[in-house]
Structure 1
Amino acid sequence: MFYDGKILRRAEARFHDDCRRREEEFRRRQEAAYARAPRLRQIDAELSATMSRIISTALRRGADPRTAVASLKERNLDLQNERARILTELGLPEDYLEYRPACSLCGDAGIRGEAVCVCLRRYYAKEQQTELSRLLDLAGQSFDTFSLDWYDQEPDPSFGVSPRENMETVYEVCANYAHTFGKRSGNLLLYGKPGLGKTFLSAAIAGEVSKNGFSVVYDTAGHVFAQMEDRKFGRSEGESGGEEMERIFRCDLLILDDLGTEMTTAFVQSALYEIVNTRLLERRSTILNTNFSPDELARRYGAQIASRLEGEYQILPFFGRDIRRLKKERC
């Protein structure tokens, strides 16, 4: 799984802030208990003595360290029992002075081995939702708020089904794609005229996938191509430019909106091919939104792109009346 560097850094900062707050709260609780029963401080100080120091002392004297370890365990048990008794007398739980990390899997380190722990992944998901919310209305554009009522039930002669029937299928495909997203979820091409729900369902997918901790980049095709052009011709800053390219090529899900609204040049054709082909080879999922049909895309971007879209993308048509216009008319 790929983690967006800038989002992961923000997630780590919040994660460690919360860890520090929990530790500070424990220290305050600890000091309050010590103030009520000073003997507790003495007991904890003795319990915190390291076993290695006692063992090394025994070894230096030529003694069997097992005897020292046994003695230490017995002494520690006595101290723990005394502490439990004092805490009970104070009306506090026996484990009141034992600090426990919030995550038992990683001990609040955020990392397990070389992998990001599930606890830090939850922080990452929240930060990514915040990032996407700057571009998308994740609350308003969700699978729960999507309505089929805006689509006509009269069959469209060009497609043989009604816009309503078509959108029922498209909705099911998109919802299943989002809810079961994983390493091999594949790719989607959403095409049709403006105002038919392509951006709405793309936002719903982005929200659901990011909520489950996967990295999602949502951007317009024109902006991404401009970034790639700046990077190629040295107009972007070194590290930030490289990080942006890494996000585009390595994120778990890339959603390119408004494909075809940019000026089509040889560079744009090459850039689109690089994105599509590289992500296919690395089995990273991509969603393309466009107002152009597959045939129009082929004429605009070339046969190589058309071949990959037809062979590797599930193509979902959007047709019917402009929903944005209908909503304005009914207001």
Structure 2
Amino acid sequence: MAYDGKILRRAYQKFEEDRQQRQERFQSRRESIFLRQPRLRQIEGELRTTMSRIIASALRRGTDPLPAVEVLKEENLGLQEEKRRLLAQMGLPEDALEEKPACPLCGDSGYRGGQVCRCLRKYYAREQQKELSRMLDLGGQSFETFSLSWYSDTYDPALGISPRKNMARILEICRSYAETFSQDSGSLLLTGDPGLGKTFLSAAIARVVSGDGWSVVYDTAGRIFQRFEAQKFGREEGDGASADVERVLGCDLLILDDLGTEMTTAFVQSALYQIVNTRLLEKRPTILSTNLKVEALHSRYSPQIASRIEGEYQILPFFGEDIRRLKRERG
């Protein structure tokens, strides 16, 4: 699983803020307990300092510290029993003065075995969805709100299927793709005229996949190619463009929208081939959305690009009437 460094830093910052708040609340609860029963503060202090004091004393004398440790154990058992009794008298559990991590797997460090722990992944998913929401309506565009009623159920003999039946099939493919997403999911090409739901279903997929903690990058083809150009020719200070290119190539799922609306130059051809080829080789799924017909890919882009897309991507053809226009007409 790949992580966007920029989003992960924001997620970890929020993770740390929440951890600090939990610690402050715990310390406040401890202090209120000590104010109710001052003897508990004394016991806590004795339990904390006695061990180091006795061992240090034994080592200074050059004697074996083990007998002192045995004495300490007896002393500590007595203190712990007194603490339990006092807490019980206050109606509190015996571990009321012990701070427990919110995540027992990583101890609230956010990492486990050198990997991002599931607790931090939840923060990452939330921050990533905030990022995606700047361009997509993740709140309104979901599989549950996708309506097939905008598509005609009249059989089209030229296509061999009705628009509604075709979209029902595409909806289920996209839903299954999102809910079972992995590095083995493969790539999709959403193709068809404007206003048929390509961006809507892209947003629905992004919502589910990012919510499961996978890294998702969504952007238009034009903006992505601009970032590649800025990185290639050093047209901005700092390494922002390089970081953006790395995100595009390295994210778990790339959704590249409006392919075909950009100016098609030799550089764009090269950048698109790099994106398609690199991500296929590294088994990183990609969703391309375009208003172009599949056959138009051959005339607009190089044979290598068109061949890779046709051969490796699952092609989902959208057809029907422009839903945005229908909504305007129906008020």
Scaled by the length of structure 1, the TM-score of the pair is: 0.96
User: What is residue 169 of structure 1 aligned with on the other side?
Assistant: 169
Residue correspondence of structure 1 range 82-97 to structure 2 within 5 A? 82-97=82-97
User: What is residue 188 of structure 1 aligned with on the other side?
Assistant: 188
User: What is residue 81 of structure 1 aligned with on the other side?
Assistant: 81
Q: How far apart in 2 are the matches of 1:140 and 1:95?
A: 45
User: What is residue 115 of structure 2 aligned with on the other side?
Assistant: 115
User: What is residue 49 of structure 1 aligned with on the other side?
Assistant: 49
Structure-2 change in CA distance of 1:50 and 1:169 (3 Å): farther
Q: Could you report, residue by residue, the CA deviation over 1:264-294 in whole angstroms, capped at 9, with x for unpaired residues?
A: 1111111000000001111111000000112
Q: Could you report, residue by residue, the CA deviation over 1:278-313 in whole angstroms, capped at 9, with x for unpaired residues?
A: 011111110000001121012111110111111110
Q: What letter corresponds to residue 171 of structure 1 in structure 2? A: L
Q: How far apart in 1 are the matches of 2:49 and 2:280?
A: 57
Q: How far apart in 1 are the matches of 2:310 and 2:238?
A: 36
Q: Secondary structure of the residue that 2:49 maps to in structure 1?
A: coil
Q: How far apart in 2 are the matches of 1:149 and 1:7?
A: 37
Residue correspondence of structure 1 range 294-313 to structure 2 within 5 A? 294-313=294-313
Q: How far apart in 1 are the matches of 2:157 and 2:74?
A: 86
Structure-2 change in CA distance of 1:123 and 1:62 (3 Å): same
Greater mean alpha carbon deviation, residues 243-252 or residues 40-49: 40-49
Q: Secondary structure of the residue that 2:287 maps to in structure 1?
A: strand
Unaligned runs of 5+ in 2: none
CA drift of 1:71 comes to 3.1
Do structure 1's residue 223 and structure 2's residue 223 form an aligned pair? yes
User: What is residue 288 of structure 1 aligned with on the other side?
Assistant: 288
Q: How far apart in 2 are the matches of 1:211 and 1:287?
A: 17
CA contact (8 A) 2:50 2:72 kept: no
Residue correspondence of structure 1 range 199-278 to structure 2 within 5 A? 199-278=199-278
CA drift of 1:42 comes to 1.0
Q: What letter corresponds to residue 7 of structure 1 in structure 2? A: I
Q: How far apart in 2 are the matches of 1:266 and 1:40?
A: 75
Q: Could you report, residue by residue, the CA deviation over 1:191-230 in whole angstroms, capped at 9, with x for unpaired residues?
A: 0000000000000000000000000000000000011111
Do structure 1's residue 9 and structure 2's residue 22 form an aligned pair? no
Q: Could you report, residue by residue, the CA deviation over 1:72-118 in whole angstroms, capped at 9, with x for unpaired residues?
A: 33322221211111112222222211110101011111111211111
CA drift of 1:157 comes to 3.0
Do structure 1's residue 19 and structure 2's residue 19 form an aligned pair? yes
Structure-2 change in CA distance of 1:306 and 1:53 (3 Å): farther
Unaligned runs of 5+ in 1: none
User: What is residue 325 of structure 1 aligned with on the other side?
Assistant: 325
Q: How far apart in 2 are the matches of 1:167 and 1:3?
A: 32
Q: What letter corresponds to residue 75 of structure 2 in structure 1? A: R
User: What is residue 34 of structure 1 aligned with on the other side?
Assistant: 34
Q: Secondary structure of the residue that 1:74 maps to in structure 2?
A: helix
Q: How far apart in 2 are the matches of 1:316 and 1:233?
A: 35
Q: How far apart in 1 are the matches of 2:319 and 2:213?
A: 32
Q: How far apart in 2 are the matches of 1:54 and 1:189?
A: 71
Q: How far apart in 1 are the matches of 2:310 and 2:52?
A: 66
CA drift of 1:57 comes to 4.4
Do structure 1's residue 151 and structure 2's residue 151 form an aligned pair? yes
Q: What letter corresponds to residue 191 of structure 2 in structure 1? A: Y
Q: What letter corresponds to residue 295 of structure 1 in structure 2? A: E
CA drift of 1:43 comes to 0.8
User: What is residue 102 of structure 2 aligned with on the other side?
Assistant: 102
CA drift of 1:65 comes to 4.0
User: What is residue 71 of structure 1 aligned with on the other side?
Assistant: 71
CA drift of 1:59 comes to 4.6
